[in-house]
Structure 1
């Protein structure tokens, strides 16, 4: 397994998070890939100085956004299963084994999405997120209450099938379903941010989210009649 941690300006949070991940419930062997997405606060230096075993560091000179950071990590991953954890410390690594379990149990599942039971955000952000989720579910029928949670587990080969674009991490359930994969959900707890600051505001999420939503709706309507995942499963069974 490969644990991919996208991080931007998370110097104070990243090393404590890495210690939690390494001491967490996932049995070895696994690797941890930190993708420093253009940080200017010394995040990469903190990871290097920690010199922790099984931790690899990738660094973007300029920030490309979370989806590009996740993609870079999964492309570099050596594991068949990739697990994503946000670098700000709000995702609790104690749920990692729960996320991986459905993938091991059912080969037809391509993605397991964490669903936060409680969010530590301001009221305006919560309301905006709730409305956006309702609109997304109505248009895409992805049967997922919370697509923005950073805790996810996925088959690497399934991830490589989905279309890539900026912010596609917000549409993983719909994109995996488009390729014929089943989706599973796991309830997880969100933690308060103890350092740094959020990289997203309510308005900027809305401005990029609406065109992306329309684009994914179009992709779902233009999906092939025979999903690629069906061929992958048949080859596996032979």
Structure 2
């Protein structure tokens, strides 16, 4: 097993692929045993062709493609299942997350107790529109009050987590927005880490405030139900 797999889900991000891959390689080559797993969620542009070009020059790169568009959570899970690393770092494919933060997360992991299984990025200085930041503040406040996950920013794309712990979580669409609460439900600890955040380099966002809100209401109720119905038991082997 490799030490680290960097999983990047993408849909129609052809202009952001090569710059982001170059940044990941610059941040990690010589510092960690790593691979990069891009998951193409059936892009309609030439994302796949650009990834093929990148793979020819980047030995750490692997490419997985969905045969039906399935959304970001499914793409992340596809990448994690395909990954060969014991630990996973995720990045959004739009380039707003800074790969230079990954080594910092690895250092924090190495200095943390073994029961901390998720290091979640916290966009202290978000480079998004005012309406997007406002909607996010409201959504985060509601989520924290309902789920009590003590996490300031669950929507940040850069995260570091243990692969086995992630695959043990219940899977559902949009689950990537609730990883702190789901990890805590499983009995693990979570740390929020301030990270860099950048303006989108090219292309456009695949979401708007309305569709985020509509799916968020149902998801919050579902995650809250999961938490209420959870039960953990200590186990020993005789």
Same fold at TM > 0.5: yes
Task: Say which of 34, 37, 47 aligns to 2:38.
Answer: 34
Instruction: Indicate the residue corresponding to 2:99 in structure 1.
Output: 93
What secondary structure does 2:138 align onto? helix
Contact 2:152–2:192 (CA under 8 A) maintained in structure 1: no
Contact 1:102–1:109 (CA under 8 A) maintained in structure 2: no
Q: Take 2:211 and 2:191, find their aligned partners in 1: how far apart are those partners?
A: 29
Instruction: Indicate the residue corresponding to 1:120 in structure 2.
Output: 127
TM-score, normalised on structure 1? 0.93
Q: How far does the alpha carbon of each residue in 1:31-70 deviate from its partner, in whole angstroms, 9 at most, with x for none?
A: 1000011111111110111221110000113221110000
Contact 1:102–1:184 (CA under 8 A) maintained in structure 2: no
Q: Take 1:225 and 1:121, find their aligned partners in 2: how far apart are those partners?
A: 39
Q: CA deviation at 1:104?
A: 2.5
Task: Say which of 71, 92, 115 aligns to 2:77.
Answer: 71
Q: Take 1:71 and 1:130, find their aligned partners in 2: how far apart are those partners?
A: 26
Task: Say which of 108, 128, 143 aligns to 1:136.
Answer: 143
Q: How far does the alpha carbon of each residue in 1:115-146 deviate from its partner, in whole angstroms, 9 at most, with x for none?
A: 00111222221111100000000011111110
Aligned residues: 230
Q: How far does the alpha carbon of each residue in 1:49-105 deviate from its partner, in whole angstroms, 9 at most, with x for none?
A: 122111000011322111000000000111100000111111000100112233323
Is structure 2 residue 189 aligned with structure 1 residue 186?
no
Unpaired runs of 5+ residues, structure 1, are none
**Deviation >6 Å, runs of 4+:** none
Instruction: Indicate the residue corresponding to 2:24 in structure 1.
Output: 21
Identify which range, 191-200 or 102-111, moves more after superposition.
102-111
Instruction: Indicate the residue corresponding to 1:205 in structure 2.
Output: 212
Q: Take 1:33 and 1:16, find their aligned partners in 2: how far apart are those partners?
A: 15
What secondary structure does 1:195 align onto? coil
Identify which range, 160-169 or 122-131, moves more after superposition.
122-131
Q: CA deviation at 1:110?
A: 0.9
Q: Take 2:79 and 2:110, find their aligned partners in 1: how far apart are those partners?
A: 21
Q: Take 2:106 and 2:217, find their aligned partners in 1: how far apart are those partners?
A: 31
Contact 1:113–1:184 (CA under 8 A) maintained in structure 2: yes
Instruction: Indicate the residue corresponding to 1:110 in structure 2.
Output: 117
Identify which range, 96-105 or 158-167, moves more after superposition.
96-105
Once superposed, what is the RMSD of the aligned Cα atoms? 1.4
Contact 2:28–2:34 (CA under 8 A) maintained in structure 1: no
